[in-house]
Structure formats: C-alpha cells, structure tokens
C-alpha cells in the first residue's frame, strides 16, 4: 500500500499541472484573409488588349486593357452631325430674332423722337399711337420667334446629353485598375468578347493581411482595439512570429466555426477578432495562424 501511494501522488500532481497550465496554448486561432475586389467590364465589345497576369502587382489607376470602341465612336459622330444640323435651324431662327430686335430699337428711337415733337407741339397723337402699335407688333413677333427656337434648344440639349453618355461609355471602355494590389485570379483573355458586368480579374492588397481569430467571452476583457499582439504561423518545425494590431472586435457572439475547432467546441459561443499584420511575403490568404495576447509565456 505504501508503495502504491508514492506512485499515485506524483502522478496526480503532474495531471493537475498539465490541465491548468496555459504556457503552451495560444489565445486564439484563425486564418488570414484580405479584401478582395472583383473588377468587371463596364462596356460591351472585344477586348483589344488585356495586360493582366495572375500574381502581377498592379498600381492604382493603372490602365490594364481596352474594349473595342468603334461603334461608340461612330455613334458619337452621328450625334455630332445631328447637333450641327439642328444648330443651323436655330441660327436661322435667331437671325430672324436679331432682325426684329434691330427694328424694335429703331421703332423705340422713333417713339422717343415723336414724344419730343409732341412736347414742342410739332407732333400729333396719331403718330404716337401708330409707333406704339408698331412696337407692340415687333415685340409679339420677337416672342413668336423665340418660342419657335425653344423646341430647337431643347432638342440640342437632348443630343448633348446623349453625347455625354457616349463619352462616359468611351471612358469606361478603358479598363482602369481600381485598387493597388496583387492579381489573384484572371477570368478573361485578350480578343474575347466581353459584356457589361462580366468579371475580368480579382485583385487584393496583400501588403497588409487580416487575421480573423475567435475568442471566448472570458477573453474579451483582455483585448481592445489598437492592442499589439503576437501572431504565429508554422515555419517548418518552429513557429514564425509577427507583430499584429487588433483593429476590430465583433459586437455579437457566434458559434465557433467548424473549420478551426473540434466537434466538442463547436457548440461554444465565441467573438470574432480582426488583427492587422504586415506581410513579408510569406503570409497567404487562408493560411492558419495563432494569436498570442501575452508574450511572457510564449514558447518559440
């Protein structure tokens, strides 16, 4: 009996220590992700050029392709010709208006002269009435001519709007990269026919990666936005460590994701946390990693 007690007591101590120790366990587990942007075509036509390759790094606003714009250019020229034709009609109407306005000035001058003659008893009231009637007729004619020009002006404005729409489509036929990043997937090739909304390639900024980990409610008190943490990935037999900063903590709990936890732990409620990590080229989308809040108990 004595010999049995000497063996059992040390074994119990070892089991308790191994269950309570936290030095070898990370504070969170998750996978790296990045903001992915799918660039789609904004015009219809043949891809005359498309300079995109998977793995290539593209700058912001870099021109990566051109969609055929021949039909759009021809339509713009047709609209410009129609606009010039309508303008010629408007010029004729406006020239009539200008003639009437000049006649109105002369008639107004005659009225002023007659009023002066009447004051000197050298003119008659009939002369004044006649000139006032002439002024009224000229003003009515001017209004009539201007009303004829109004539909022409509106028609020109409609054509100008169509021309602006064509110019916008021409601009969108030039494929411009919207974000700086690395091409992840290429969906199209040069000389293919593309349509509006068709995906052309997917791009993401891999210079800064985001590690999404999940923690328990008990751990919430130990983290806050802006906090510096350690992030570790597998590197052969050892672990490679990176510096990270917490940028987001979920406000709501969710069930533990199946892809990173055991079956027994899936029923637990956890909180998602995002950590920003600078990429040295070794971090990949979907790569598993660990988060360590405290560095005093880490083991490299």
pLDDT reported for residue 113: 86
pLDDT reported for residue 268: 76
Flag whether the pTM goes above 0.75. Answer: no
Beta partners for 203? 37, 183
pLDDT reported for residue 5: 38
The tokens 């021809």 sit on which residue? 74
* Dihedral-angle region of residue 55 (phi above 0 means left; psi in -120 to 50 means alpha; beta otherwise): left
pLDDT reported for residue 99: 80
Crossing angle of the two packed helices 70-119 and 125-172, in degrees rounded to 10: 160
Can you tell me whether residue 283 is helix, strand or coil? Answer: coil
Cα–Cα dist 164/275, whole Å:
45
Cα–Cα dist 153/119, whole Å:
45
pLDDT reported for residue 260: 52
DSSP label of 223: -
- Per-block average pLDDT, block size 10, for the chain (300 residues)? 35 31 72 96 95 96 96 93 83 76 87 85 84 86 78 85 94 96 96 96 95 90 92 88 94 72 62 94 93 60
Q: Rounded to an integer, what is the distance from CA 256 to the centroid of its chain?
A: 33
pLDDT reported for residue 21: 36
| Cβ–Cβ under 8 Å, residues 248 and 273 | yes
């Amino acid at each position: 009996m004595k010999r049995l007690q000497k063996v059992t007591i040390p074994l119990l101590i070892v089991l308790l220590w191994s269950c309570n120790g936290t030095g070898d366990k990370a504070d969170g587990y998750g996978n790296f992700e990045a903001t992915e942007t799918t660039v789609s075509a904004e015009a219809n036509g043949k891809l005359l050029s498309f300079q995109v390759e998977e793995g290539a790094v593209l700058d912001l606003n870099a021109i990566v392709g051109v969609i055929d714009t021949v039909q759009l250019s021809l339509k713009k020229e047709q609209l410009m010709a129609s606009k010039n034709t309508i303008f010629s009609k408007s010029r004729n109407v406006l020239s009539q208006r200008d003639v009437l306005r000049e006649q109105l000035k002369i008639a107004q001058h005659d009225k002023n002269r007659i009023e002066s003659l009447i004051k000197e008893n050298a003119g008659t009231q009939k002369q004044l009435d006649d000139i006032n009637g002439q002024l009224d007729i000229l003003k009515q004619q001017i209004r009539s001519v201007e009303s004829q020009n109004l539909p022409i002006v509106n028609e020109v404005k409609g054509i100008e709007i169509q021309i602006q729409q064509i110019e916008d489509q021409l601009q969108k036929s030039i494929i411009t990269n919207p974000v700086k990043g690395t091409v992840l997937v290429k969906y199209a090739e040069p000389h293919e026919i593309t349509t509006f909304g068709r995906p052309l390639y997917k791009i993401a900024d891999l210079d800064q990666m985001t590690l999404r980990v999940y923690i328990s409610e008990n751990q919430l008190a130990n983290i806050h936005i802006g906090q510096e943490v350690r992030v570790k990935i597998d590197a052969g037999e050892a672990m490679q460590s990176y510096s990270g900063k917490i940028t987001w903590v979920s406000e709501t709990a969710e069930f533990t994701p199946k892809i990173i936890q055991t079956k027994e732990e899936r029923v637990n409620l956890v909180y998602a946390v995002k950590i920003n990590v600078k990429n040295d080229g070794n971090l990949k989308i979907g790569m598993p990693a660990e988060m360590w809040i405290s560095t005093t108990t880490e083991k490299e």
